Structure 1
């Protein structure tokens, strides 16, 4: 997030994340509270699509950390929503198989790649719960044009309860890169682990430690599936 609103609660009350929602889930909101220094584009974006993505940050009871997106890459804003204003929520893995692109937009490279993954029932990705995030996930959830011809396909792969061996991670990365090259789109996959979000490419590279993006901040870890002192608020 390039801009982030100050939390509307005392930091000592920000103990964990609401277990009802996980990072990258998309929330349909009935209201968006305004905070000081809110970027000018946020109200227009919310009026066009009253959706926000759950971001990794601890929040006090009754609040959820969210990210708003505007038209361009520069329009990203981290803010807070009241839990009472959440109308519904949808996870990336639910979007993968329950939503379709808007009419006439399935030929966009990001959606073409997504369709290829959906149709491959025996590929290495089929062993996991997974789904689209980023612009593709947002468009599928909000039903407003968001993906462009140059958009990446961002994926989240749930491995919280299923450790991913590095050799299998390398196989999975090769599979996604071959798909991306064939279609002409960049595919960027993130692993959801107990330590937080870890880039598939980084884990597959066999580094001794990888960067895990956790609710309480980024951390370098040797094994993202080992017990952490942070608990389950990844």
Structure 2
């Protein structure tokens, strides 16, 4: 299981209870059986997850043991569900992205509220919801990322893209394209790091 994956469990009683669970969790359809894996190490089988309620303020981070997880849905898995998505606001750009990213030969998937909605069929988006995406790469390909960025700008709406670099971490596409040489933020399981690239390789910026 990796960050952005959506996990399902049978009973809310299986959630780790070291931290008191907010009352809203028990009344939120989106939180009773589903959570999104957070960017933290999985230790002793405890998977860090985030729960969501009906408002932006209702977010709660907790853990569930992997033995209680009955289904894992990755963002890449959700691409196959786009054609059957009934949301008239978010479906058109998703279809365009799917077609373009297939031509780019990119591994990707929807995340955020749209990804959650695709995975669970629980309505959590609004007209103002951002469209969040994740692109998966084994190594940085700046030309390909620049091409993807230019395409996304043609869609005329806010799209937040994280690039997940295998075994390293993730960075925001726009941050990388604008600040590749001066310094962009790499999100890792152990916290953010300021980085640049040298010949498409990540280099940490260290204060001397």
Task: Give the TM-score of the pair, scaled to structure 2.
Answer: 0.84
Structure 2 CA distance for aligned equivalents of residues 51 and 163 of structure 1: 32
Select the residue among 215, 224, 234 that pairs with 2:189. 215
SS at match of 2:28: helix
Is residue 204 of structure 1 aligned with residue 180 of structure 2? no
Deviation at 1:62, TM superposition (A): 1.6
What do residues 82-132 of structure 1 show as CA deviations (whole Å, max 9, x unaligned)?
A: 111100101101101235555xx3311x22211221233664xx3211000
CA distances 1:144-203 after superposition (whole Å, capped 9, x unpaired): 1111111111000001x13221x4323221210111x1xxx3111100014311000011
- Using structure 1 for the length normalisation, give the TM-score: 0.76
Q: Which structure is higher in RCO with an 8 Å CA cutoff and minimum separation 6?
A: 1
Contact 2:114 2:131 in 1 (8 A): yes
Once residues 110 and 7 of structure 2 are traced to their aligned partners in structure 1, the CA distance between those partners, rounded to angstroms, is 15
What is the Cα deviation at residue 72 of structure 1? 1.5
Match of 2:152 in 1: 176
Which ranges in structure 1 are unaligned for 5 or more consecutive residues? 1-20, 229-234
Residue 207 of structure 1 and its aligned partner are, at CA, apart by 3.7
Aligned residues: CA RMSD: 2.3
Please say if 1:128 is aligned against 2:106: yes
Give the whole-Å Cα distance in 2 for the aligned partners of 1:79 and 1:146.
Answer: 20
Stretches of structure 2 that go unaligned for 5 or more consecutive residues are none
Aligned mates of 1:37, 1:50 — CA distance in 2: 17
The equivalent residue for 2:132 is: 154
The answer for the alignment partner of 1:11 in structure 2 is none
- Correspondence 1:66-85 to 2 at 5 A: 66-85=49-68
Whether contact under 8 Å (1:68, 1:77) holds in the other structure is: yes
SS in 2 for 1:222: strand
SS of the residue corresponding to residue 24 of structure 1 reads coil
TM alignment of 1:25-104, pairs within 5 A:
25-32=5-12, 33=15, 34-45=17-28, 50-100=33-83
Measure, in 2, the Cα distance between the counterparts of 1:138 and 1:54.
12
> What is the distance in 2 between the residues matched to 1:144 and 1:39?
20
1:69 to partner: Cα distance: 0.9
Q: Deviations over 1:54-88 (max 9, x none)?
A: 11111322210111111121111111011111001
